[in-house]
């Protein structure tokens, strides 16, 4: 596979993450943004679902939920939006969870 094809495939795998990040300033309500994220993730998985995507999504969600919570509790990072546990945005673990999937896909593409 040519490098330009790999770059294109990695970009396409990253489009849901790019869309989710772009929506952060556009949707002020955390619950609405979380719903939008769930729709984007569902659509992305409907378009392409690879073996173990669910496992990476779940692992990313759990790992980043706890990691962000402990990181924020140190006071190093704070969020103006704190709808989850009073410390972070509700949508943040979903963003990280799908980012895990996108990173896995990117690594797989580079290994081809």
Domain boundaries, the chain: 3-111
Token pair of 49 as six digits = 């679902």
Confidence (pTM): 0.89
**Residue-level pLDDT, tens digit, the chain, 112 residues:** 789 999 999 999 999 999 999 999 999 999 999 999 999 999 999 999 999 999 999 999 999 999 999 999 898 888 888 899 888 999 999 999 999 999 999 999 999 8
Going by C-alpha positions, the residue among 19, 67, 72 that lies closest to residue 43 is 19
Contact 80, 88 (CB under 8 A): no
Going by C-alpha positions, the residue among 61, 48, 42, 40 that lies closest to residue 109 is 48
Q: Which residues sit opposite 63 in a β-bridge?
A: none
Q: Using DSSP, state whether 84 is helix, strand or coil.
A: strand
Q: Residue 4: CA atoms inside 13 Å, Cβ hemisphere, count?
A: 0
């Amino acid at each position: 596979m040519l490098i330009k094809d790999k770059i294109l495939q990695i970009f396409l795998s990253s489009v849901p993450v790019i869309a989710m990040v772009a929506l952060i300033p556009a949707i002020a309500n955390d619950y609405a943004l979380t719903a939008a994220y769930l729709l984007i993730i569902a659509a992305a998985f409907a378009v392409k679902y690879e073996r173990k995507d669910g496992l990476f999504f779940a692992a990313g969600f759990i790992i980043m939920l706890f990691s962000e919570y402990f990181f924020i509790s140190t006071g190093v990072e704070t969020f103006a939006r704190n709808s989850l546990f009073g410390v972070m945005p509700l949508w943040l673990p979903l963003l990280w969870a799908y980012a895990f999937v996108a990173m896995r896909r990117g690594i797989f593409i580079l290994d081809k």
